[in-house]
Structure 1
Amino acid sequence: MRSARAPLQTEAEIMDAALSLLSRREYSETELTRKLLEKTEQQHHVERVLARVQEFGYQNDQRYTESYIRYGISQGKGENWLIMKLRQKGVPPALIEACLYEADTCWQDIALAQLERKFKNQGCDLQEKARWYRFLAARGFNPDAIAAAVERHAQKQLDCT
């Protein structure tokens, strides 16, 4: 088996590669460009292929961003985590902001759900609250959402005892 494949030469080969990639999952424009340029050195063909797949609606940064935000929320990730990941994937900051606004998500509720899932029936002394805070910060929640979720979780813990 060959370890290195011959680079793609024609626009049709690059289009096939793009469609193959997009048939498996969504890609941002930047990610798709990078993936295709790994397979060929024909940048002008890559640019034309990208324009065509966008024209056909096979690649759309807004749809990708909305999908990635839904994925992150379902995984219990915070707003900061989503912003960082989407920027790494080359999504423009204005588009990220617009899609997060449209998602109309209560980050405090998501953070609280994460605390309830991870820390059931434990005390709520200062050390434990610091642990909760670190846990949510690592998941990408902003300080306001963390503070509100920690206080609500602490109150629930006190109500249970």
Structure 2
Amino acid sequence: MQQIRIEPVTKTKFRIYLDGEFAFVLYKSELARYGIKDGGEISDEMAAKIKEETVLKRARVKALKLLGDMDRTRAELKDRLMRSDFTEEIAELALAYADSFGYLNDERYVENYVQSRKETKSRREICAELSRKKVDREIVERVLEDCYGADDSCTAILKLLKKRHYDAEQMDQKEKQKICAWLARKGFRYGEIRKAMELPDWED
């Protein structure tokens, strides 16, 4: 048997702690249905039943809804589920459920991410953004190798130069160096920057 402690979140929503550890969230009607009372006790079998019948079902629905709103990485989805008061165990089970339908695919996510940003961002900048999203580095490097080439860097630099109204003939050396430094901070290599800035008719 496990000791129950109930912590109100709202008038109808409650966090349930079993033997001092957070277990799951239940709503008022569910407390009555399962006979959950503050200070009472619950068997391991009943706790497992609640997780399976109610909590996991809710987590699965939440996971699919989040993926329906927008594509997410495994790490992002897990983080969102845990911030929605699901334990790591339940979050992992919900991820597995979404995975079984093919809805969760970090490689596909990275491919879409790179394709949609490679014309305005450097390879290094994209890599850093995906790293912050906790995508496996091997996946990122493999996709970048396949989807991001030298021509993409050049295209991205030219678009950024156009955005900054770059004019090779009108700008002095100091202004060019300033733009060059700005592009370098965005992760482009000096050789790529120099080549793009010296290309004739870049605005076309």
TM-score by length of 2: 0.66
Say which of 139, 148, 151 aligns to 1:95. 139
Please report how far the alpha carbon of residue 71 of structure 1 lies from its aligned counterpart in structure 2 after TM superposition: 2.2
Q: CA deviation at 1:139?
A: 3.2
Aligned to 1:151: 198
Quote the residue 1:124 is aligned against.
171
Residue number in structure 2 paired with 1:38: 83
The partner residue of 1:22 within 43, 49, 67 is 67
Is it true that 1:78 corresponds to 2:122 in the alignment?
Answer: yes
Aligned residues: CA RMSD: 2.5
- State the alpha-carbon separation in 2 of the partners of residues 73 and 109 from structure 1: 8
Q: Rg larger in 1 or in 2?
A: 2
Q: Which amino acid aligns with 1:103?
A: C
CA contact (8 A) 1:82 1:140 kept: no
Q: Alpha-carbon deviation of 1:14?
A: 0.5
Q: How many angstroms apart in 2 are the aligned matches of 1:119 and 1:103?
A: 28
Identity between Structure 1 and Structure 2 (%): 25
User: Tell me, which stretches of 5 or more residues in structure 2 are unaligned?
Assistant: 1-9, 15-24, 27-53
Tell me if the contact between 1:18 and 1:36 (Cα under 8 Å) persists in the aligned partners: yes
Q: How many residues align?
A: 153
In the alignment, structure 1 segments of 5+ residues that lack a partner are none
Query: Greater share of helix residues, 1 or 2?
Result: 1
**Structure 1 moving runs of 4+ over 3 Å:** 4-9
